Structure 1
């Protein structure tokens, strides 16, 4: 018993000594962490694709820089190793902020493409490269087009399973699914394109799945919204020649780029046989009958109605091209661009002369007015979009703190106070100073009992963030859109379908909001509340239009779409 008691005492003393030693180390560590400060925190501005990364598994993911007091673990090194070895592109990672500490360590803020993991991770000692817990990562590998067989390259395709599924093989994408952060679908419903004919012009493989993706385009509409990326398995080969045996297909093409097919139509003749010539060859010249010439010219004018193109008469060279075309085949006819702003003219390459017709801008077009709203929202309640220059707008939002706001006893200059309770700030201001809102919010008191100690600041940051987003949804980036390009004869009526057809073939089919800032409102990271977290945008996709009369403005209605996968 005596011996056992001594052993017990010895073990107890040893354990107590170990605990004391560990406690001392913990105190030193806490003290060390308390001395570490963030000396820089800013958004990354390099090309988005250069900020695609993967985890190395050497460092864990935290709510803030891991050496800062209060940092909480978001994901362990084992979890991150699993994500790094994943065969799913949803586990690709984007870095979007970088911070340095007073010890010279660099931390990157990252998010997985499925948004399941977001936080800060050690990234080495240089802001110019990814190290430590991150490696740069290529999410998609473009192959040379000759990796396709000649049959695949020459083939025409249709969508195998038209519909709305977001599965990589039903709709098309601006980039292959989950290979670029927040860049999603080109179209959300492929049903209207079920009968369209496509060809392949690019091919590649996603890194994680190693599945084959191809980029397709509509052979009859170079501006088709459905052009984009899709899994090879989402396509089916079609009959190579869809032109009827007793018809010729007339492709109306752009004068500057003959690969752009503006419109196409079939012209048939009863009893004609595939492979026979449409016209007559005599005296070394191809000709067509006056009846065919009149009918074809009328169909061309009808096809070009409401576009930025016209062709009032067929030139001798164009008549010869049509005459030399065999039934069952197609012919390109170059048309003229309408220069509604005035100025010079350009003759087309087939010698049709006259070039671009100069139209007065007061009565030959209908100005298209873009209205936007949520999907399913009635057209009557949608709001008019206003144009802003590309970049970060300088239009300011105004936010006033609640009357019951509680302020620090001695706010510094520029901080919120009873006499400085309103902030006016624009995206441009935040681009110049990412901490402008954060610095103002520093004037609000913290440490409220029985609630979130930073509730005043987080609620104000959320309200300002919401106002910036709401403002962006009333604006679109002004680039090369032409809202006065829908032309025709003054007073002529046009239908919704005609206007929609025009818009779908131009840059007006999809508009983009200006970049707007997302502000941090995470109370677990009080040092960042109100600071710039990331830049966002929304897209506007054409939904429907009104009908109208050439010469009077007409409304086009867009759905607000958040760009993601």
Structure 2
């Protein structure tokens, strides 16, 4: 019994041991199999990602090539639809050269610098076409989609020459070719080494109009054919420029002048002043007659307080001039002058307009004794109306201080206040003031003297004739009564 029990226990333990081993083996096998399946799935997933990644890297880069070289005489302008780039679209490292807004701003530009010359057509590997362009001023260069620019007609067209093809160039900007003539044209300003051609006459050979509307003339200097080129039509004139004409006239006057030294008769040998004069009527472009010289000298002394009247006071090379003397241009003369010290009052007349509606504008003198006297200071009166024969009469001062609105002589009345006289500056200066004071074109003669006014003039009057409109204060109508008289003294109560 005992022996059999031991055998059974042994067998049981053996079986348990085997079972344990078997279980362990089974578990090991199961884990190994599971690990094997997981490894397979992971490998496939990574392989799939790697395949996609490798496929993306394999995409081809965009390239381009020139399909043709374009005619560089053709001209293009922006349509404003596309920007300009440093390389065609899609090409690596491409950058914007001119934005779409920049290109749009060139659409309506009148400047030739905003035009383009397209010199290449290129095609990208994606089949898109671009032009390689450069602006006329060469400041903008790049690639633009073919619809970003459009071809235009030649920007330079023939134009009509002026009706008078001989004239003056009023600028120093003479160009080799007109600005915007064509791409690459030398439109720089020519350098003529400082030659002054402003007084030269030029011939117009041809004319063109460039993009934007500017017209240019091709010109050649008549005096120096080496001076030629293109100028804007606005810089060509058939008339000599005013500043050139003036300068030329001044230079000519200086060349034709005589030079006068004025010596005082009271302090003989003392030079009072010197003047450069241009007498009238230069004879044979070389000399003046004595009478014209005397007139010029007397005219030059107006307003100076000095006077000379005859040839004996004019010395030419040590000999006094006579009526038959001739004075060459450029000569030096000595003139003896005498100080003036005999001031006189200018005489003037008060006249009234008889018929304001009459075309002839007839007038009649007013008797000053019938007017109410005016009271003004002696100093004012003397400063305006008193002077030597050779002193300048200042009409503008008289007008502003005495004859303007609100001033003492603007309105006058007769003694019983029945008539009011109102000064009429327009009629006075147009018709009757004095031919020695106003020209036929109603221009004030600036150096008219007291002596000039007090001489009897072509109208048969002396002094200053002032015209007034007269109104009858009782009827309110223009007064037409004719009353004669003259003289200034009775006009002022204290004279």
TM-score bracket, shorter-length normalisation: 0.3 to 0.5
Q: Which has the larger radius of gyration?
A: 2
Q: Which has the higher contact order (CA 8 A, sep 6+)?
A: 1
What TM-score does the superposition give when structure 2 sets the normalisation length? 0.33
